[in-house]
């Protein structure tokens, strides 16, 4: 991919920035083989249900086993997949800036698998379960049968993900919003920017005066707000940004 894709001003800002925030979505995991939710105009459907129906608080109230079946399927796909160049590049960025914040909507754990630390998982993780009563967390390990009930209080376990219609975990969005309001450079990578409150993070950064840059093969509702739009795949574009 030609290196003149990146403007001189972005190269300069990247070289000088002290406080950088990155928001990622399903697009950064696409090159690892993780299906995105929306792409090519259609929305992911599971057993006839659009993903934002099976991944909803309503569905969990009505049929927790069905919700578990959906996330067991998601883990079965993820088990053999590895982080890609996009994930690996962002893991390197953490050591490049005095203050680097990685916020993700992804529940796949691939940022952590790439070596990123302190990732703010806005929507949780498919690799954790949580007790519906005492909120005790349990790690879900591949090849090990996952628990159905809490060992402490015996109540049901549910996927530790944020479902549609559910509030984000206390403090998680607030932490991301605080960092967004304080960053100088904000990258929005691989998200259709349709799900809130996650999509408001770059809006907060922009309103606070940050330079906002989008990386996506397609335009999104956020593109017009961005100072720079880099049209391409994260795995191709991110290494170009670092190369100065």
Answer for the pair 91, 11: CB distance below 8 angstroms, yes or no.
Answer: no
Does residue number 38 form part of the binding site for ligand BV8 (CB under 6 A)?
Answer: yes
Does residue number 69 form part of the binding site for ligand BV8 (CB under 6 A)?
Answer: no
Distances in whole angstroms, Cα of residue 132 to Cα of each of 75, 110, 138, 161? 20, 26, 12, 12
CB closer to ligand BV8, 135 vs 219: 219
Whole-number Å distance between alpha carbons of 225 and 59: 34
Q: Of these, 114, 198, 205, 212, which contacts ligand BV8 (CB under 6 A)? A: 198
Does residue number 166 form part of the binding site for ligand BV8 (CB under 6 A)?
Answer: yes
DSSP code for 196 = T
- We find the least distance from the C-beta atom of residue 106 to ligand BV8, in angstroms, to be 6
Answer for the pair 60, 67: CB distance below 8 angstroms, yes or no.
Answer: yes
Answer for the pair 179, 127: CB distance below 8 angstroms, yes or no.
Answer: no
Does residue number 30 form part of the binding site for ligand BV8 (CB under 6 A)?
Answer: yes
Can you tell me whether residue 187 is helix, strand or coil? strand
Residue nearest to ligand BV8 (CB): 27
**Assigned token pair, 65:** 């086993």
Does residue number 229 form part of the binding site for ligand BV8 (CB under 6 A)?
Answer: no
Q: Is 87 known to be catalytic?
A: no
**Assigned token pair, 163:** 């479902």
Does residue number 26 form part of the binding site for ligand BV8 (CB under 6 A)?
Answer: yes
Does residue number 32 form part of the binding site for ligand BV8 (CB under 6 A)?
Answer: no
- We find the least distance from the C-beta atom of residue 82 to ligand BV8, in angstroms, to be 15
The owner of tokens 């990386």 is 215
- We find the least distance from the C-beta atom of residue 29 to ligand BV8, in angstroms, to be 8
- We find the least distance from the C-beta atom of residue 13 to ligand BV8, in angstroms, to be 20
Q: Which long-range contacts (CB under 8 A, 24 or more apart) does 229-233 make?
A: 230/5, 230/6, 232/1, 232/5, 233/30, 233/31, 233/86
Active site residues: 123
Residues making contact with ligand BV8 (CB under 6 A)? 25-28, 30-31, 36-39, 51-52, 55, 105, 107, 123, 161-167, 190-192, 194-198, 215-218, 220, 233-234
């Amino acid at each position: 991919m030609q290196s003149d894709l990146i403007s001189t001003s972005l190269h300069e800002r990247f070289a000088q920035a002290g406080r950088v925030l990155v928001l990622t979505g399903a697009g950064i995991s696409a090159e690892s083989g993780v299906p995105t939710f929306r792409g090519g105009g259609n929305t992911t459907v599971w057993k006839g249900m659009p993903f934002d129906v099976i991944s909803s608080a309503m569905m969990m109230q009505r049929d927790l086993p069905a919700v578990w079946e959906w996330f067991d399927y998601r883990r079965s796909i993820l088990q053999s997949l590895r982080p890609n160049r996009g994930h690996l590049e962002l893991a390197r960025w953490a050591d490049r800036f005095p203050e680097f914040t990685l916020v993700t909507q992804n529940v796949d754990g691939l940022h952590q698998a790439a070596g990123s630390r302190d990732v703010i998982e806005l929507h949780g993780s498919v690799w954790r379960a949580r007790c519906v009563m005492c909120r005790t967390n349990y790690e879900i390990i591949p090849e090990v049968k996952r628990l159905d009930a809490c060992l402490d209080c015996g109540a049901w376990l549910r996927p530790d993900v944020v479902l549609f219609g559910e509030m984000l975990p206390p403090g998680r969005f607030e932490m991301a919003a605080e960092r967004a309001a304080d960053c100088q450079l904000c990258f929005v990578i691989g998200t259709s920017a349709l799900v809130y409150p996650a999509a408001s993070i770059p809006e907060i950064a922009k309103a606070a005066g940050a330079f906002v840059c989008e990386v996506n093969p397609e335009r999104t509702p956020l593109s017009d707000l961005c100072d720079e739009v880099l049209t391409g795949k994260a795995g191709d574009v991110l290494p170009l940004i670092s190369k100065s």
